Structure 1
């Protein structure tokens, strides 16, 4: 059977992301994924991390295809997907000791990005991890010409979308009780930002 809403980008990046997540999540018991999309990351990561439970989420409109993919390809440690709008409280999951999200902050508007960080700060247990994957800018500068072009395309499609500045994310994350633990350069001009909730 074929995946619904299959993502070539997910297929390309899942192995390198997993290599970084495996040591980070070695003692984790429950992960909430925000913006699971097709569910490809959930399926790949959960199969390689059988010691934890993976909770996929997405906007309600995306759940039928996500749920169908997880039924076809998922493992026993993936919970049924939940509808999650980061701006709506309370979030329908928890407690968790890690939150993962990929390629979401540049798609959602800035108020939604702030709401994601605030919600993560409320939901995560002390010492928990927030792992954010995607493209970012540093001091207003892109990490590549292709990211600059991608950002122009994003904003033409939706003026609320944009590649975010790490410094702006850092300030909001600090206000929500997070400290940046690692900033990992990834292939294709992406980063994996790892934040830890204060104990």
Structure 2
């Protein structure tokens, strides 16, 4: 799914060769890695949804070497950037990017059994119906007991809590009235309806991280 987005929502700039560089990815990678180190499984298959430039997934593959990382991205220019980062990293636990539209129903059937799935800075860029599809498909793709980590900006109890969030959400909705910040309580409700356990963590720059643990095998 592609949407009309304001310029402030896409801050990746050309770097060396096919590589793109996003300052936000460089700034938040360490904080997200800390969450993953505390909650992710030590081994297994890890899927990143909407991997963007590729900066995050290469950092994660270095920080969690026991997981085999599969980046995904709908945009071909960004897949080329991911592959450039992957090639530069030269890690055996990091695969080239594959095309995936996570808002399309049914993708879990091809990508099931994941020990870890991570989703960064996507839900505010898509409509609510698409966000619910992403979450439902992700939960279906998780292995029993698997971990799902969601990171990004969210409303708190229906409210935007900083001037920057108010401005960015307004820019998003001006570009496309169907997109914008999602409510933290809605995310928790949609995910916990599957029987999963969910923990919310405050993150730097007024972001949130949801750590979701899928039900184990009965």
Question: What TM-score comes out, normalization by structure 1 length?
Answer: 0.91
2:59 to 35, 44, 54: 44
Runs of 4+ in 1 over 6 A off after TM superposition: none
1:145 to 163, 166, 170: 163
User: Greater strand percent: which structure?
Assistant: 1
1:155 to 155, 158, 173: 173
Whether 1:108 and 2:108 are equivalent positions in the alignment is no
Task: Give the aligned partner of residue 81 of structure 2.
Answer: 65
CA distance in 2, matches of 1:59, 1:177: 29
Q: Which runs of 5+ in 1 are unaligned?
A: none
Asked whether the 8 Å contact 1:136–1:143 carries over to 2, the reply is no
Tell me how far 1:21 sits from its aligned partner. Answer: 1.2
Task: Give the aligned partner of residue 128 of structure 1.
Answer: 146
* Change beyond 3 A, Cα 1:73–1:122: same
Task: Give the aligned partner of residue 25 of structure 1.
Answer: 40
CA distance in 2, matches of 1:108, 1:65: 22
Task: Give the aligned partner of residue 114 of structure 2.
Answer: 96
Task: Give the aligned partner of residue 184 of structure 1.
Answer: 201
CA-to-aligned-CA distance 1:132-167 (integer Å, 9 cap, x gap):
000111221123221111111111122222110011
Asked whether the 8 Å contact 2:51–2:57 carries over to 1, the reply is yes
CA-to-aligned-CA distance 1:87-119 (integer Å, 9 cap, x gap):
142344232111101101111221211111111
Question: What TM-score comes out, normalization by structure 2 length?
Answer: 0.84
* Change beyond 3 A, Cα 1:158–1:69: farther
Tell me how far 1:72 sits from its aligned partner. Answer: 2.7
Range moving further from structure 2, 6-15 or 140-149: 140-149
Tell me how far 1:60 sits from its aligned partner. Answer: 4.7
Q: How large is the RMSD of aligned CA atoms in angstroms?
A: 1.7
Asked whether the 8 Å contact 2:41–2:115 carries over to 1, the reply is no
Q: Which runs of 5+ in 2 are unaligned?
A: 1-14
